[in-house]
Every structure is written in structure tokens, then in C-alpha cells.
Amino acid sequence: MSEKLNRAAAHVRSLVNMEPTVGVILGSGLGNLVDSVDVVAAIPYAEIPGALASTVIGHSGRLVFARIGETPVVMMQGRNHFYEGHSLEDVVFIPRLLAKLGARVVAITNAAGGINAEFHAGDLMLISDHINYLGTNPLRGANDDELGPRFPDMSDIYSKQLRGVARDVAAATGVALREGVYLATSGPSYETPAEIRTFRVMGADAVGMSTVPEAIAYAHMGVKVIGISCITNMAAGILDQKLDHVEVLETTTRVQKEFAALMLALLERLGSHTN
């Protein structure tokens, strides 16, 4: 894994004259954040040796390098999901590459269903912790000691200190920010109402199909993580209505501007929290 990552990193470095210190994984609806930054370089995943061909993620699967304020940032525009059939090792390959390229802090964003009854579609939620309900783990298999330890600690994945920074930035930007626990399922089916009731008892505030593999890989590598979910809908059975991917997309479009404003301010600030 290390060798494959080092090869990919060397290739990317040969194309880009910038050392990023902060990374971001742009989830559903945030991809056009790249339209509001000065792009230094963009590299399709398909051109990165060892990365999955980008067929399933379409044309938008690419690494984008940009300077936000003083902060050099590398962005993943498009990600691979477990439900697409990839191994978790493949799912975390490009996320790990961000760290290899220099990112010491990574902000992970996603779309999620709200389980906490106080939430509403359109809310943004700072992830305080996660529940891995995938039934597997990206670190399964031989450990690569160069990347991290066999049994990495998971007690502060979504850095308490950085959550404080995110709350400050949200207040300064005038964006309301919820906070809660994110639970990841494999998907691609949405959950049943019985599953959602179970997840609530387990302590989950939101449910989605991403983020947890990446966060575990970063904890393994000693990279700090910030997680932010866009609550695109209330989870199954909470409201008397069916779940629909169209609703998810509509909500991301509705809150896109607010979400992007928060993320831009946050990414800039994270530049001073990279050690």
C-alpha cells in the first residue's frame, strides 16, 4: 500500500507545484466549491497510478489544488463508495494520497439522513464521533507499518480541538451548526424505519454511506479530521414520507451556498492547525 501510494504521490508531485497542508473530501452537492477558488491544478483520478479508474464516479472524479487565503488545499472532487462494489482499501486510496501529498488535516463532507428528531432537512452537522456499521474495516488485512499502527486509537478521530475551531468559524460566518454522531451503513439501499429506530437507540444522530472508511484511514495515519454532514432528509420512518434521492439532491442544491461559505472559511482557518 505504502509503495503504491508513494508512486502515486511522486506522479502527482511531478505535475503540481504546490504542497498542500489541508485536504477536503467534497461530498454530494459540494463539488462546485471548486468554482469559487483559484484552481492551481486539477488531475483526474484516472491519471493517477494505482487509483481506481473513474468510470463509476464520472468525469468529476479529480484532485483539485487551490490556495484558499494563505492555505494550500488539495480537494477530492468526487469519491468512491463502498456500495459501488469497491474494496474499502480502494475506497481509502485517494483519501490516503491527500495525506501523502502533505495534508495534515482533512475535512470530510457528506450528505446524510437525520435521525435526531430535532434536526431538519437542510441542517449542517459537525460530526462529533462515528459508528462503523459497515461490517468491515479499511484496515482489515496485513498492517502497513509505514502508514500506521496495527491497532490505532479511535478515541478522538474528529478532533475535539478542531471541532472548537469549526464552531468558531460557523459563528463568525453566521452558519448554524448542529453536532452529532454519524453512523455509516454500506448502502446503497436506504434504511428501514426499524433500522433507524435501532440506530437512534445506538446513539446515532445521522446516517450515511461514506466518511467512516476515510476517517478510520486518517486516524491510522495520524491525520486530524473534521467531519461535516449536510442533513439532506430525515431518515426513514421519521416523517410520513418516502425517501427519494431527488430530495437529497434538492436539499444539497438549496444549502450549497451556505455550506460552501462555511467550508471555505474553515479550510482557510485549518491552515494554522496543521501540526
Binding site residues, ligand HPA, CB under 6 A: 111-113, 190-191, 207-209, 232-233, 235, 243, 248
Q: What is the C-alpha separation between 226 and 133, in angstroms, rounded?
A: 20
The question of whether 202 is a catalytic residue gets the answer: no
**Which one of the listed residues 8, 9, 28, 195 is annotated catalytic?**
28
Q: For residues 129 and 191, which CB has a smaller minimum distance to ligand HPA in the complex?
A: 191
The question of whether 130 is a catalytic residue gets the answer: no
The question of whether 28 is a catalytic residue gets the answer: yes
The question of whether 3 is a catalytic residue gets the answer: no
**Which one of the listed residues 76, 107, 204, 209 is annotated catalytic?**
209
Nearest to 62 by CA among 72, 51, 20: 51
CB of 189 to ligand HPA, least distance (A): 9
**Which one of the listed residues 10, 53, 146, 245 is annotated catalytic?**
245
The question of whether 83 is a catalytic residue gets the answer: yes
**Which one of the listed residues 54, 110, 210, 229 is annotated catalytic?**
210
CB of 36 to ligand HPA, least distance (A): 24
CB of 233 to ligand HPA, least distance (A): 5
The question of whether 210 is a catalytic residue gets the answer: yes
Q: What is the C-alpha separation between 218 and 106, in angstroms, rounded?
A: 8
Residue 196: exposure state from Cβ atoms within 10 A (0-12, 13-18, ≥19): buried
Interaxial angle between packed helices 160-173 and 245-270, expressed in degrees from 0 to 180 and rounded to the nearest 10: 100
Q: For residues 81 and 86, which CB has a smaller minimum distance to ligand HPA in the complex?
A: 81
Q: For residues 156 and 250, which CB has a smaller minimum distance to ligand HPA in the complex?
A: 250
CB of 18 to ligand HPA, least distance (A): 32
CB of 178 to ligand HPA, least distance (A): 15
Closest residue to ligand HPA using C-beta atoms:
113
Buried b / exposed e along 12-31 (16+ C-beta atoms within 10 A): beeebeeebbbbbbbbbbbb
Q: For residues 22 and 206, which CB has a smaller minimum distance to ligand HPA in the complex?
A: 206
**Which one of the listed residues 51, 111, 204, 221 is annotated catalytic?**
111
CB–CB of 97/5 below 8 Å? Answer: yes
The question of whether 275 is a catalytic residue gets the answer: no
Query: Which residues have a catalytic role annotated?
Result: 28, 59, 81, 83-84, 111, 209-210, 233, 245
